[in-house]
Structure 1
């Protein structure tokens, strides 16, 4: 069964005759940025904007392990996101896996409304948040893109939506349609939910990371009281800083001129220094492997 509506959508035949949507194209806008380590700095803002939706926030509050296993959850989510863009023939399978994980998530949101996590109104918002955040944060962390590249980025984001199982009818099909939808959601739905407030708080408990060699785990346990405070402050800083101003206002997040100056200095350093890193440090593993396969295929 196709996950898309309408003719002309890029797709491939999968096993059993199923038509799978294609991921964004190699060499596109997403291909060049989604696997860059700088993209990690944008994810907290997108996640916080997602859970500021009453239904999404309620689902994460009730079902997610983000409080008890934030590091494991973050690693699994990051791997999933990377597969949507760089997974090739495995991208659609990962999208189906994500939908299966959310199949049983349902309940009542903060406004007393029944929700299911795969309802298009909720699921499409989770997908949609990545576009304005990546566009806004990209102006700080990457080179400013042209209007044509912005349109290309949106077309590629629609392809990611299809990978996730969204129908075209559930997503604005152009930038001209997207921005009214986005501002309407900010005005009518978005609020400072419990989870959104937690994600910008600097005084919440966070378990110490448990992975790595024994010596590293011991050092982390000994220094975690200090590192936890520094981590939470940094997380709040990049979460609010890389969130578009209109989204900050909808959630009720404050941002001062002094914070903006610090963000600009930090972003300039990242924009200048990260491209100087060797590829094994600049790109996340799945993106790095995909880039290597592409180079090998070109020879």
Structure 2
């Protein structure tokens, strides 16, 4: 993108992402999206070498979530956040375990990280909300492309329709994606996660950590689309599927009944309020 080009617009108020990105249910799919991202060897190597997901998972998670929300609800700040992320990724480079060079801004790798959000969010929605109609699905993907432009992803590097997306997705799953050390770490039931920086939680952490890591591992695998689980080589049993469906029933019953101040994350709630108040 040339320096003098106008900033790409964020997804529109009232659109699919405006209604879904800040909904607390979207948090449930984030671990699975991260696993699908790092299953690409270049992305996994970059995260392994440069990310603080081991030493500061809470800070990293908060910063990542804030960034995602800015893409959708940030207005003029959305493009600024996209530029910040590209600048941050310019120094992320190295060699993967097979000796291949990687750079975070290589178009194919950068686009894959963004692309994974679409199939994971779409699949998770089948559990936790009403599935998209075909028209809504097209709109959701079109808005996801808008987010990609904010991140500096050129249209030539991303499939431009859902019809074009699925062959691209299946090709990456078949030829690139696989299990690696970062995937195994993120899906481990006994993953070592440091305590949050909160006095009470630190005291309770020895009791809370096992339940939290089991839940994160469960959602990380269960909310991957089946074809992605198969490509990565992650097992998933019928018993686990039944557990996920039982949990999903509770979410579908409870989440829509929450007041907006509890159902939406603060940035999303404020943006939606401003949108309703605008003349």
1:193 Cα deviation (Å)?
1.5
Matched position secondary structure for 2:249: helix
Question: What does residue 192 of structure 1 align with?
Answer: 179
Q: How does 1:111-260 map to 2 (within 5 A)?
A: 111-211=98-198, 217=199, 219-260=200-241
Structure 2 portions without partners, runs of 5+: none
| TM-score between both structures, scaled by the size of structure 2 | 0.97
CA RMSD of aligned residues (A): 1.2
Aligned residues: 279
Match of 2:247 in 1: 266
- Residue equivalent to 1:102: 89
- SS of 1:210's partner is coil
Is residue 27 of structure 2 the alignment partner of residue 46 of structure 1? Answer: no
4+ aligned runs moved over 6 Å, structure 1? none
Q: Contact 1:200/1:236 (CA < 8 Å) preserved in 2?
A: yes
Aligned to 1:12: none
Is the CA contact (8 Å cut-off) linking 2:24 and 2:265 kept in structure 1?
yes
Aligned counterparts, 1:69-108, within 5 A: 69-108=56-95
CA distance in 1, matches of 2:226, 2:42: 22
Provide structure 1 residue ranges, at least 5 long, that are not aligned to the other structure.
Answer: 4-16, 212-216
Q: TM-score, normalised by structure 1?
A: 0.91
Cα deviations by residue, 1:178-234 (Å, 9 ceiling, x for unpaired): 1011000001100111111100002221110013xxxxx1x3223211211000000
Q: After TM superposition, list the pairs within 5 Å mapping 1:285-296 onto structure 2.
A: 285-296=266-277
Q: Helix, strand or coil for the counterpart of 1:20? A: coil
- How far, CA to CA, are the matches of 2:6 and 2:56 in structure 1? 35
3-state SS of paired residue (1:207):
coil
- The aligned counterpart of 1:58 is 45
